[in-house]
């Protein structure tokens, strides 16, 4: 994370410029709010996203994260003009401690993240979608990686896609800049649910309500272990996972879950 736990102890008193952030019943909702620029990611907006994701990561009361967007486009990717020219805007959050790489931030969240995709996703917007645990997309939403049309290549997106789909499918999306519908994105594994636009919120509620039934500690342990497993040699993976299970058994949530099972009652997670 690019911010410390002390820095994110509370959200900015005056709010964010390019995000709506709200918390309700252990769910933190981060909504991209730059619709006039199709939610393109400028440096100030990236800093706000990094701050909000760090807040979600460090705050115990946050069990789940929702990523959403205002306007007709979910995210147009990086704001190339803003990235090239820089920004003189007054910051709403402290400067991050390093470059904002969304793929790393999403991987380091270690909490279930559900993306609500109401419209097209372009370029760097794939980092938000690909880094989410679940993606609920309107059937009318489309997905495009147009970088090669501009003499560029979606390097960071490719790294995320290779965790989701076979190499040939991932590289084809990068090389041919095709626009694919939500139904094809679901077949490729990029989207979890493709639903009618008027069914987005109902599907989101079903996933959230189900996840809230389960131990937030167990889910965080599992998501963190899944990321760390990627960097371990195969012969070390089983020992690592056994150690993770041993550690999880010592947590209050594990003790509560086992007690609730034996007492035939619903658990009360901490």
Provide the phi-psi class of 116: left if phi over 0, else alpha when psi is between -120 and 50, else beta: beta
Q: Give the pLDDT score at 80.
A: 82
Q: How far apart are CA 229 and CA 244, in angstroms?
A: 11
**pLDDT confidence bin for 83, thresholds 50/70/90:** confident
Q: Which of 129, 127, 132, 109 is nearest to 119 (CA)?
A: 129
pLDDT band at 227; cut points 50, 70, 90: very high
Average pLDDT across the chain, whole number: 95
What confidence tens digit (pLDDT) does each residue in 165-193 have? 999 999 999 999 999 999 999 999 999 99
Which whole number is the average pLDDT over 133-150?
97
Q: Based on the number of CB atoms within 10 Å of its own CB, is 250 exposed (0-12), middle (13-18) or buried (19 or more)?
A: exposed
> In the prediction, which pLDDT does 197 show?
97
**CA proximity to 65, closest of 105, 18, 123:** 105
Query: Which residues lie closer than 8 Å to 148 by C-beta, 6 or more apart?
Result: 174, 175, 176, 177
Residue 61 clears pLDDT 80, i.e. is over it: yes
CB 243 within 8 A of CB 269: no
Q: Which residues of 26-39 are buried (b: 16+ CB within 10 A; e: fewer)?
A: bbbbbbbbbeebbb
| Residue 134 CB contacts under 8 Å (≥ 6 apart), including other chains | 112, 113, 114, 115, 192, 193, 207
pLDDT at 87: 67
Proportion of the chain above pLDDT 90, given as a percent: 94
Sheet strands (E) in the chain: 19-24, 27-32, 64-69, 113-117, 121-122, 134-138, 142-144, 179-181, 193-195
**Mean pLDDT across the stretch 112-125?**
98
Looking at residue 91, its pLDDT comes to 84
Listed residue (24, 61, 71) closest to 205, CA to CA: 24
């Amino acid at each position: 994370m690019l911010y410390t736990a002390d820095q994110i102890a509370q959200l900015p008193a005056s709010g964010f410029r390019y995000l709506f952030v709200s918390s309700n019943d252990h769910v933190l909702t981060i909504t991209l709010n730059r619709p006039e620029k199709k939610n393109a990611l400028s440096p100030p907006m990236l800093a706000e996203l990094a701050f909000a994701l760090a807040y979600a990561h460090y705050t115990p009361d946050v069990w789940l994260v929702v990523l959403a967007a205002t306007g007709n486009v979910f995210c147009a990717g990086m704001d190339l003009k803003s990235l090239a020219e820089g920004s003189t805007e007054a910051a709403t959050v402290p400067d991050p401690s390093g470059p904002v790489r969304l793929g790393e931030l999403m991987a380091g969240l270690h909490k279930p993240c559900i993306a609500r995709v109401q419209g097209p996703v372009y370029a760097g917007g794939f980092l938000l979608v690909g880094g989410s645990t679940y993606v609920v997309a309107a059937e009318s939403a489309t997905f495009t990686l147009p970088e090669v049309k501009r003499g560029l290549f979606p390097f960071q997106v490719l790294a995320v896609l290779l965790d989701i789909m076979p190499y040939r499918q991932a590289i084809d999306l990068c090389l041919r800049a095709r626009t694919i519908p939500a139904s094809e994105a679901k077949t490729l594994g990029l989207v979890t649910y493709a639903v009618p636009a008027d069914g987005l919120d109902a599907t989101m509620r079903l996933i959230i309500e189900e996840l809230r039934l389960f131990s937030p500690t167990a889910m965080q342990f599992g998501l963190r272990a899944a990321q760390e497993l990627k960097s371990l040699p195969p012969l070390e993976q089983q020992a690592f996972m056994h150690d993770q299970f041993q550690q999880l058994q010592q947590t209050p949530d594990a003790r509560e879950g086992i007690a609730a099972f034996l007492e035939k009652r619903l658990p009360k997670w901490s």
